[in-house]
């Protein structure tokens, strides 16, 4: 069964912005960003041009994993404000034509969650089967998933989904082992209750104005599920029930396999994040394409990208984000703002769904070797406070410096929104121009045609056409430090009108375009 024919129309021209709420903007001077802080910065986000926001988990939590350890799905964490603040944010965002998506941690809770506490009780109760417990008298030694032992007297071991303090919710096993009766089928009462509750949580927030969800580890729900067949069926059921009441809901999967996630009913998947090499070859690896001296070529990325898009075309979208809270920001290692301009030129003219991680639009840096915070470990350096201006704490908070959620980038020349707003050649203005161009140009949007122009294995540049019924663009990129000369064959290119360009000269003779590209250069031309 495939219940999904398409995705909400507005996604074609959407540009998402990801907000890590604790680091965005603090309005109550406790050193931690909050929801009223997002509300206050909506004018900025509207000016930037984005039209959808994904907020990392903002629910009650002991914050052992920055909120990915939920203790109450129905309540905003007091450090971020109240439910009313969130409803208000939705209303204010909608007035600006901006959608709000929450982070739904579907696969596990915190050990502090009252469901888990009740489930730890050896006496049978409503929550006994909400999590996956082995049988106390029959310890299991050889098992492919993480078993956390001796947590609750009188109970067996429980399965953890990520960190040990994140017990997996029980959505059942794809093929329960008959000799292990604690492995329940997906349609057993416990798993069905967990599913029902998840639907209830989603409908609760949708009824208060939220537009959709980014689902954490969406692939992880049914255990020992080869090809995720049962997990796909489970999400199809959930999506169908939610869409019956909220047809416009947007569902974004952290799955890492669009072929599966889109079939499961999701609209968008971060293909590049888990288990797929393409994002590494594009942005992350030492020898990736977007590294001035990396030597990488675009082919490896294209191979992965086209394999996935062929299987999902028209039914869902793939996101290539600038970064996220789990990955190094693009402004790391040897990159500069100019390198980022090439990257953003790609991200905002490629058909994939752009997700801008807060601060990447001004080139905030990944800060290496930061002390781990809330389970962040190496990810902590990507989660530092937003740099708004040159006032105290970069305008992020009026709290004492020592109270800040995380220390700021200590460098004197750290980029700020205020400085870059006023510089026409800044990265921020570059990103903004690209967003405006994308939103106003059907040919640059998600569903418009893409034609990559051929590259040889030794090529460090890349060029592609984007086309709609009414317009045509040529995009050329040279992320390497070396200048490049290239000839492109394009039928009837006509005059090339540069829209957003740096360091590129293009001469047209008939159907041949001769390109002279400086090191680290880009061009978006209207044909
Ligand atoms: C993926 C999230 O992006 C990450 O931050 C979190 O630690 C794990 N899932 C566990 O929820």
Residue 253: which residues within 8 A CB-CB, separation 6 or more? 214, 215, 218, 219, 261, 264, 266, 268, 269, 270
pLDDT attached to residue 1 = 45
pLDDT exceeds 70 at position 183: yes
Decide if pLDDT at 405 tops 90.
yes
Please tell me the distance between residue 276's alpha carbon and the centre of ligand 1 in angstroms. Answer: 17
DSSP 8-class letter at 152: S
With the most atoms of ligand 1 within 8 angstroms of its CB, the residue from 19, 20, 58, 65 to mutate is: 65
Same domain? For 394 and 249 the reply is yes
The residues lining ligand 1, judged by C-beta closer than 6 Å to any ligand atom, are: 65, 68, 105, 162, 216-217, 254, 325-326
- The CA angle 442-444-450, to the nearest 5 degrees, is 115
The domain boundary residue, chosen from 406, 423, 440: 440
Cα distance between residue 318 and residue 212, in whole Å = 16
- Ligand 1 centroid to 291 CA: how many Å? 27
CATH of the domain at 158: 3.90.400.10
| Cα(137) to centroid(ligand 1), Å | 33
68 CA to centre of ligand 1 in angstroms: 6
Helix (H, G, I), strand (E, B) or coil at 36: helix
**For residue 276, pLDDT beyond 60:** no
What is the pLDDT averaged over residues 201-212?
A: 98
What is the pLDDT, as a whole number, of residue 362?
A: 98
Same domain, 354 and 213: yes
In this structure, the answer to whether residues 341 and 431 fall within a common structural domain is yes
The answer to whether position 179 is within a domain reads no
Give 216-261 as a DSSP string: ETGGGSSBS-GGGHHHHHHHHHHHHHHHHH-TT-EEEE--S-HHHH
> 271 C-alpha to center of ligand 1: Å?
15
CA 349 to chain centre: 18
Instruction: Establish if 243 belongs to a structural domain.
Output: yes
**Do residue 419 and residue 468 come from a single domain?**
no
Considering only CA atoms, which of 287, 184, 172 is closest in space to residue 233?
Answer: 172
In a domain, 176, yes or no: no
Q: Whose CA is closest to atom 6 on ligand 1? A: 68
Tens of pLDDT, residues 8-19: 999 999 999 999
Q: Which of 217, 252, 375 to mutate to test the pocket of ligand 1 (most atoms within 8 A of CB)?
A: 217
d(CA 60, CA 70): 6
375: left (phi over 0), alpha (psi -120 to 50) or beta: left
pLDDT at residue 272 in the model: 63
Pair 96, 113 in one domain? no
Q: Which atom of ligand 1 approaches the CA of 163 most closely?
A: 10
- CATH number where 480 lies: 2.60.40.1180
State mean pLDDT over 281-286: 90
Is pLDDT above 50 for 205? Answer: yes
Are 247 and 300 in the same domain? yes
Q: 398: domain CATH number?
A: 3.20.20.80
Which of these ranges, 55-64, 229-238, 276-285, 510-519, has the smallest mean pLDDT?
276-285
91-103: buried (b, 16+ CB within 10 Å) or exposed (e) per residue? ebbeeeebbbbbb
The total domain count for the chain is 3
CA of 217 from ligand 1 middle (Å) equals 7
Residues 228 and 356 in one domain: yes
Secondary structure of 323-347 in HEC code, one letter for each residue: CCCCCCCCCCCCCCHHHHHHHHHHH
Tell me the backbone φ, ψ of residue 392, rounded to 5 degrees.
-50, 140
- One domain, residues 37 and 94: yes
Do 480 and 392 belong to one domain?
A: no
Task: Report residue 481 as tokens.
Answer: 């430090």
Domain boundary among 419, 440, 461: 440
Phi/psi at 305 (5° precision): -60, -50
- The burial of 372, by beta-carbon neighbours within 10 Å (0-12 exposed, 13-18 middle, 19 or more buried), is given as exposed
Alpha helices in 395-516 (DSSP H): 417-421, 427-440
- State in Å: Cα 495 to ligand 1 middle: 48
Whether the predicted pLDDT of 520 surpasses 90: yes
Least confident of 12-16, 440-444, 454-458: 454-458
* Å from CA of 216 to ligand 1 middle: 6
Which contacts (CB < 8 Å, 24+ apart) does range 239-246 have?
239/3, 239/4, 239/264, 239/265, 239/266, 240/3, 240/265, 241/199, 242/199, 242/202, 242/203, 242/206, 245/203, 245/206, 246/203, 246/206
Q: Are residues 300 and 199 in the same domain?
A: yes
- Cβ(230)–Cβ(270) under 8 Å? no
| Mean pLDDT of the region 262-272 | 91
Is 60 exceeded by the pLDDT of residue 274?
Answer: no
- What is the number of the ligand 1 atom nearest to the C-alpha of 108? 11
Do residue 125 and residue 271 come from a single domain? no
Looking at the structure, tell me whether residues 283 and 306 fall in a common domain: yes
Whether the CB-CB separation of 368 and 381 falls below 8 Å is answered with yes
475 has which bridge partners? Answer: 464, 524
DSSP three-state, residue 353 = strand
Tell me, yes or no, whether 186 lies in a domain.
Answer: no
Cβ proximity of 180 and 161 under 8 Å: no
Q: Whose CA is nearest to atom 11 of ligand 1?
A: 68
Q: Does the structure show a pLDDT above 70 at 354?
A: yes
| Residue of 85, 14, 20 whose CA lies nearest to 54 | 20
Side-chain half-sphere of 177: how many Cα atoms within 13 Å?
8
Give the closest residue (by CA) to ligand 1 atom 4. Answer: 326
User: Which atom of ligand 1 is the closest one to the Cα of 105?
Assistant: 11
Residue 342 lies in a domain: yes
Give the chain's mean pLDDT.
Answer: 95
Ligand 1 atom, smallest distance to 325 CA: 5
Q: Please indicate, yes or no, whether the overall pTM of this predicted structure exceeds 0.85.
A: yes
Provide the pLDDT for residue 334: 82
Reading the block at residue 131, the tokens are 């999590």
Residue 178 lies in a domain: no
Measured CA to CA in angstroms, residue 330 lies from 108, 269, 299 at distances of 30, 20, 20
Closest ligand 1 atom to residue 162 Cα is: 10
Domain assignment present for residue 461? The answer is yes
Residue 178 has pLDDT above 50, yes or no: yes
Residue 306 structural domain: 9-107+191-440
- Which H or E run contains 484? strand 484-489
Give bridge partners of residue 72 from the DSSP assignment: 60
Domain contains 181: no
Question: What residue owns the CA closest to ligand 1's atom 5?
Answer: 326
Final residue before a domain boundary, out of 120, 137, 168? 168
**Ligand 1 center to 375 CA (angstroms):** 10
Helix (DSSP H) and strand (DSSP E) numbers for the chain: 12, 18
Q: Is the pLDDT of residue 85 over 90?
A: yes
Q: Quick one: which of 8, 86, 21, 100 has its CA closest to 54?
A: 100
Q: Is 263 helix (H, G, I), strand (E, B) or coil?
A: helix
């Amino acid at each position: 069964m495939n219940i999904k024919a398409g995705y909400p129309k507005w996604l074609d021209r959407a540009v998402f912005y990801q907000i890590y709420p604790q680091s965005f903007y603090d309005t109550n001077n406790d050193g931690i960003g909050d929801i009223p802080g997002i509300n206050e910065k909506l004018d900025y986000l509207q000016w930037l041009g984005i039209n959808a926001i994904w907020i990392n988990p903002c629910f009650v939590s002991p914050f052992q994993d920055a909120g990915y350890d939920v203790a109450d799905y129905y309540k905003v964490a007091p450090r971020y404000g109240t439910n009313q603040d969130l409803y208000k944010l939705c209303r204010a965002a909608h007035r600006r034509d901006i959608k709000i998506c929450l982070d739904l941690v579907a696969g596990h809770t915190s050990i502090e969650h009252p469901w888990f506490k009740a489930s730890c009780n050896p006496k049978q109760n409503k929550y006994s089967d909400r999590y996956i417990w082995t049988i106390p008298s029959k310890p299991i030694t050889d098992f492919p998933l993480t078993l956390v032992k001796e947590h609750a007297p009188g109970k067996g071991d429980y399965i953890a989904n990520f960190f040990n303090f994140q017990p997996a919710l029980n959505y059942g096993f794809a093929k329960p082992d008959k000799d292990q009766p604690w492995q329940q089928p997906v349609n057993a009462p416990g798993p069905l209750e967990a599913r029902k509750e998840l639907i209830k949580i989603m409908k609760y927030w949708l009824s208060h104005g939220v537009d959709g969800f980014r689902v954490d580890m969406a692939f992880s729900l049914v255990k020992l599920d080869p090809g995720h067949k049962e997990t796909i069926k489970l999400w199809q059921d959930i999506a169908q029930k939610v869409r019956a009441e909220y047809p416009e809901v947007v569902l974004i999967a952290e799955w890492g396999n669009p072929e599966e996630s889109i079939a499961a009913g999701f609209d968008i998947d971060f293909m590049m994040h888990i288990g797929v090499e393409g994002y590494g070859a594009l942005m992350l690896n030492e020898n990736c394409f977007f590294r001035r001296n990396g030597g990488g070529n675009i082919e490896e990325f294209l191979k992965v990208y086209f394999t996935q898009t062929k299987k999902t075309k028209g039914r869902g979208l793939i996101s290539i984000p600038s970064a996220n809270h789990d990955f190094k920001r693009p402004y790391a290692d040897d990159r500069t703002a100019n390198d980022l301009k090439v990257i953003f030129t790609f991200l905002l003219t490629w058909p994939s769904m752009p997700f801008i991680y807060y601060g990447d639009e001004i080139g905030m840096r990944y800060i290496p070797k930061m002390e781990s915070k809330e389970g962040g470990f190496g990810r902590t350096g990507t989660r530092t406070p937003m740099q708004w201006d040159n006032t105290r704490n970069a305008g992020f908070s009026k709290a004492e410096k020592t109270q800040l959620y995380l220390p700021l980038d200590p460098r004197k020349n750290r980029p700020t929104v205020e400085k870059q707003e006023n510089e026409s050649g800044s990265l921020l203005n570059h990103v903004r121009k690209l967003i405006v161009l994308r939103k106003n140009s059907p040919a640059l949007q998600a569903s418009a045609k893409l034609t990559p122009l051929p590259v040889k294995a030794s090529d460090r540049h890349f060029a592609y056409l984007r086309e709609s019924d009414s317009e045509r663009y040529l995009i050329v990129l040279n992320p390497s430090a070396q200048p490049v000369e290239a000839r492109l064959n394009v039928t009837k290119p006509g005059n090339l009108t540069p829209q957003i360009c740096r360091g590129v000269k293009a001469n047209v003779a008939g159907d041949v375009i001769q390109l002279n590209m400086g090191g680290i250069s880009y061009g978006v031309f209207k044909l």
